[in-house]
């Protein structure tokens, strides 16, 4: 059943939002005179704005649709992963931020090279590139489908317009422009979510108290099942997955680490990181709560759902069919905000990795102007490629392509959190041992995926590429990511004892930080490098 088209006032709100974002991108272009300006904002952005940007970056349009879908169809188990983030962050952020701010110039993966050699940097940076290319194409694709189903517009046209606007303000605005636009987008996202929650709480005749009672009594606000069964989605599986998600995101993801460098000082960088995590939890809660409220709404009011509207489709249907004009435009703008605030960070950080991990390494005499020009070229190239990938999804069908890409990414880029933990928590681990660990991780991930996943190969049914009978991997797919990190860490550490210990890298570990070996006055990356090299 098709959705109704948006009223003129809603289109006006959406167009004004897109125009404002494009204008602000152009406004911030005046400040982009060097790579420091473009990638780290000359290290002068306020902590609260960085924290808002971290939140906006982690809340994508996938979250905007998937969390309400889960809240409607099930319970709050997806939220368990998010609740683990601030817990882990409080434990590790105090030494990660000052170490990174002293050791690296721009790329998070420079740390891996200094600790384990260039192959570790190459492996981790390629993993980042693969993950975020896959993610960007997916976000464009899913956003295009959602807006198309809501408005009847052509999916290709939606992807092209959003891609063009996002590339435009990212190209000209640099990281400072991105952060301030993320602040605006974050407030739009919060406002849109709160507006929906208010409507859903007060529209049913029984009022907010009755709505909450109905949700609670029907088990819609639980986080179970709570048993220790790793073969299905349980509280324990999500909690363990959340721990490694937090370590990988805040310890190895360029989109977050780069924001550590933008702050004026270590203390403000720590404050920004904590603020971002603490803002994400209520936002994840808000959107999964909206899904729960939708479940009550369609049982307590005369409103009805068409038979084909289930799961992730329920929230878009509610937006288009139940919200008044003006509010609908705000929510659609919030959906755009969720996508664009994630995509702009990806584009800028991919350019940072391209310049710092590859261009500067192989062209050591490159001028800052050449690096800045190349960074902008990479933004455009990555934007065009991700839009092309999204259009390919639309043309060939997203499910088969997405499944294959996620499988390839998982096989060849697993265990990044394992590398981080091996580098920070051990002194004896060395580059040769790590390389053995990476090989073991790739082999294990390939085995687990090929024996547990059925792929769409164009036939009448999905096929499993490798069947080892009772030796197949049977645990839940969320545990695969956990095991890949553990395999890399354990094998890498054990294998390191087979090889001669290398130069003293203790200053690059947690123990070196605790001993004060890498603490020197100042906050610049260059000062930190002198300490380590000494």
* 484, 123 Cβ separation under 8 angstroms: no
Structure tokens at 519: 């603490």
pLDDT at 8: 86
Note if the bond before 338 is cis, omega within 30 degrees: no
Mean predicted confidence (pLDDT) in 158-168: 89
Q: What is the 3 state secondary structure string of 198-237?
A: HHHHHCCCCHHHHHHHHHHHCCCCCCCCCCCCCCCCCHHH
pLDDT tens by residue, 354-365:
999 999 988 889
H helix runs in 397-476, sequence order = 398-412, 416-425, 431-452
**What is the helix (H) or strand (E) element at residue 482, kind and residue range?**
helix 477-496
Mean predicted confidence (pLDDT) in 449-472: 77
For the chain, the farthest-separated pair of C-alpha atoms sits apart, in whole angstroms, at: 73
Q: Tell me how far apart the alpha carbons of residues 393 and 401 are, in angstroms, rounded to a whole number.
A: 7
Half-sphere exposure of 490 (CA within 13 A, CB side): 9
Structure tokens at 244: 């490694």
Nearest to 13 by CA among 1, 24, 2, 21: 21
pLDDT tens by residue, 67-92:
898 899 999 998 998 898 888 888 88
Instruction: Tell me which residue has tokens 């509610």.
Output: 318
In the predicted structure, residue 172 carries a pLDDT above the cut 90: no
pLDDT tens by residue, 110-135:
999 999 999 999 999 988 888 887 78
**CA angle, 270 as apex, 267 and 276 as ends, to 5°?**
140
Mean predicted confidence (pLDDT) in 41-65: 85
pLDDT confidence of 4, banded at 50, 70, 90? Answer: low
The mean pLDDT value of the chain amounts to 85
Question: Looking at 88-92, 110-114, 184-188, 500-504, which range is the least confident one?
Answer: 500-504
Among left, alpha and beta (phi > 0; psi -120 to 50; other), residue 415 is: left
pLDDT confidence of 411, banded at 50, 70, 90? Answer: low
pLDDT tens by residue, 339-352:
888 888 899 999 99
pLDDT at 531: 34
In the predicted structure, residue 520 carries a pLDDT above the cut 70: no
Cβ within 8 Å of residue 396, ≥6 positions away: none
Structure tokens at 23: 């204008």
Q: Tell me how far apart the alpha carbons of residues 404 and 388 are, in angstroms, rounded to a whole number.
A: 17
pLDDT at 412: 55
Domains of the chain and any CATH numbers: 12-396 (1.20.1730.10), 398-502 (no CATH)
* 338, 139 Cβ separation under 8 angstroms: no
pLDDT confidence of 408, banded at 50, 70, 90? Answer: low
In the predicted structure, residue 216 carries a pLDDT above the cut 90: yes
pLDDT at 52: 92
* 453, 464 Cβ separation under 8 angstroms: yes
pLDDT confidence of 519, banded at 50, 70, 90? Answer: very low
Mean predicted confidence (pLDDT) in 450-477: 79
Cβ-based burial of 467 (10 A; exposed 0-12, middle 13-18, buried ≥19): exposed
pLDDT confidence of 410, banded at 50, 70, 90? Answer: low
Structure tokens at 274: 């904590």
pLDDT at 56: 87
* pLDDT over 70 percentage in the chain: 91
Cβ within 8 Å of residue 157, ≥6 positions away: none
**What is the helix (H) or strand (E) element at residue 38, kind and residue range?**
helix 35-40
pLDDT tens by residue, 265-280:
999 999 999 999 889 9
pLDDT at 532: 37
pLDDT tens by residue, 291-324:
999 999 999 998 888 888 888 889 988 988 888 8
Mean predicted confidence (pLDDT) in 474-485: 89
pLDDT at 48: 94
pLDDT at 382: 92
Structure tokens at 142: 């899913």
**CA angle, 418 as apex, 412 and 57 as ends, to 5°?**
75
- In three-state secondary structure terms, 453 is coil
Q: Report DSSP state, residue 521.
A: S
């Amino acid at each position: 059943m098709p959705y109704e088209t948006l009223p003129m006032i809603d289109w006006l709100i959406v167009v004004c939002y897109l125009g404002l974002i494009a204008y602000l991108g152009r406004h911030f272009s005046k400040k982009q005179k060097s790579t420091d300006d473009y990638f780290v904002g000359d290290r002068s952005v306020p902590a609260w704005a960085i924290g808002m940007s971290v939140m906006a970056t982690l809340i994508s349009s996938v979250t905007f649709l998937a969390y309400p879908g889960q809240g409607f169809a099930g319970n709050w188990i997806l939220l368990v992963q998010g609740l683990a983030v601030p817990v882990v962050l409080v434990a590790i952020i105090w030494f990660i931020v000052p170490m990174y701010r002293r050791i690296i110039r721009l790329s998070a993966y420079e740390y891996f090279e200094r600790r384990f050699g260039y192959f570790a940097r190459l492996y981790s940076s390629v993993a980042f590139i693969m993950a975020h290319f896959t993610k960007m194409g997916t976000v464009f694709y899913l956003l295009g489908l959602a807006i198309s189903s809501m408005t009847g517009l052509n999916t290709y046209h939606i992807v092209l317009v959003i891609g063009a606007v996002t590339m435009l303000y990212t190209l000209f605005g640099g990281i400072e422009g991105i952060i301030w636009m993320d602040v605006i987008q974050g407030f739009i996202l919060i406002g849109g979510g709160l507006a929906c929650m208010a409507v859903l709480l007060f529209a049913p005749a029984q009022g907010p108290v009755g709505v909450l009672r109905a949700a609670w009594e029907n088990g819609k606000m639980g986080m179970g099942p709570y048993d220790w069964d790793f073969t299905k989605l349980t509280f324990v599986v999500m909690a363990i997955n959340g721990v490694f998600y937090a370590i990988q995101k805040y310890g190895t993801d360029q989109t977050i680490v780069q924001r550590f460098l933008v702050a004026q000082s270590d203390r403000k960088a720590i404050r920004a990181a904590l603020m971002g995590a603490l803002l994400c939890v209520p936002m994840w809660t808000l959107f999964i709560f909206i899904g729960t409220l939708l479940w009550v709404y369609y049982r307590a009011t005369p409103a009805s759902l068409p038979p084909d509207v289930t799961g992730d489709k329920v929230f878009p249907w509610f937006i288009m069919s139940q919200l008044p004009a003006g509010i609908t435009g705000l929510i659609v703008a919030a959906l755009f905000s969720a996508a664009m605030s994630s995509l702009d960070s990806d584009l800028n950080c991919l350019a940072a990795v391209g310049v710092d991990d590859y261009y500067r390494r192989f062209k050591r005499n490159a001028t800052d102007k050449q690096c800045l020009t190349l960074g902008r070229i990479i933004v455009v190239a990555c934007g065009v490629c991700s839009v092309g990938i999204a259009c390919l999804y639309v043309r060939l069908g997203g499910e088969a392509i997405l499944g294959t890409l996620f499988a390839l990414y998982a096989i060849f880029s697993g265990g990044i959190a394992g590398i981080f933990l091996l580098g920070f928590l051990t002194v004896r681990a060395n580059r040769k041992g790590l390389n053995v660990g990476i090989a073991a991780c790739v082999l294990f991930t390939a085995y687990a995926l090929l024996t547990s996943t059925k792929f769409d190969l164009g036939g009448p049914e999905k096929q499993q590429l490798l069947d080892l009978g009772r030796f197949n991997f049977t645990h839940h797919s969320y545990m695969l990511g956990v095991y890949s990190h553990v395999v890399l860490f354990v094998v890498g550490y054990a294998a390191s004892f087979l090889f001669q210990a290398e130069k003293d890298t203790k200053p690059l570990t947690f123990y070196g930080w605790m001993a004060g070996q890498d603490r020197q006055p100042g906050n610049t990356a260059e000062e930190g490098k002198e300490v380590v090299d000494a």
